[in-house]
Structure 1
Amino acid sequence: MNTDAALLAELHRLRRTVPEISGAVLAAVDGLLVASDLSGADPHHIAALSAAGLGIGDRFAHLVGHGPLRESVIRGAEGCVVVYPAGEDAILTAVVPPETDLTRLHAEARPAAQRLGALWAAVRQPSVATAIPPTTDPDAPLATRTPMAALPAGLWSETGGWRSPGRQ
Structure 2
Amino acid sequence: MRADMLASILADLNGTSADIEASGIISTDGLIMAAVLPQGMDEDRVGAMSAAMLSLGDRTAHELARGALEQVLIKGDKGYVLMTYAGKESVLTVLAKPNAKLGLIFLDVKRAAENIATLI
Shorter chain as denominator, the TM-score bin is: over 0.9
Q: How well do the aligned residues superpose, as a CA RMSD in angstroms? A: 1.0
Question: Within 2, Cα distance between the matches of 1:61 and 1:18?
Answer: 29
Q: Which has the higher strand share?
A: 2
Question: Within 1, Cα distance between the matches of 2:101 and 2:110?
Answer: 14
Question: Within 1, Cα distance between the matches of 2:56 and 2:17?
Answer: 27
- The answer on 1:31 being equivalent to 2:30 is yes
Q: CA deviation at 1:48?
A: 0.9
The one-letter code sitting in structure 2 at the alignment partner of 1:90 is: S
Question: Within 2, Cα distance between the matches of 1:117 and 1:41?
Answer: 25
Q: Which residue of 1 aligns with 2:50?
A: 50
Structure 2 unmatched ranges of 5 or more: none
Q: Which residue of 1 aligns with 2:20?
A: 21
Structure 2-normalised TM-score? 0.94
Question: Within 1, Cα distance between the matches of 2:8 and 2:94?
Answer: 15
Give the SS at the match of 1:23.
strand
Deviations 1:89-122 (A, max 9, x none): 00000001111111111111012112112212xx
Query: Which gives a bigger RCO, structure 1 or 2 (Cα 8 Å, sep 6+)?
Result: 2
Q: Which residue of 2 aligns with 1:143?
A: none
Q: Which residue of 2 aligns with 1:80?
A: 80
Q: Which residue of 2 aligns with 1:106?
A: 106
User: Between Structure 1 and Structure 2, whose CA radius of gyration is higher?
Assistant: 1
Deviations 1:37-77 (A, max 9, x none): 00141111101100000010111112222111111011111
Deviations 1:113-156 (A, max 9, x none): 12112212xxxxxxxxxxxxxxxxxxxxxxxxxxxxxxxxxxxx
Structure 1-normalised TM-score? 0.68
Aligned identity (percent) is 31
Question: Within 1, Cα distance between the matches of 2:107 and 2:99?
Answer: 16
Q: CA deviation at 1:34?
A: 0.5
Question: Within 2, Cα distance between the matches of 1:18 and 1:58?
Answer: 28
Number of residue equivalences? 119
Question: Within 2, Cα distance between the matches of 1:110 and 1:63?
Answer: 25
Give the SS at the match of 2:20.
coil
- The answer on 1:89 being equivalent to 2:83 is no
Q: CA deviation at 1:32?
A: 0.6
Q: Which has the higher helix share?
A: 2
Q: Which residue of 2 aligns with 1:67?
A: 67
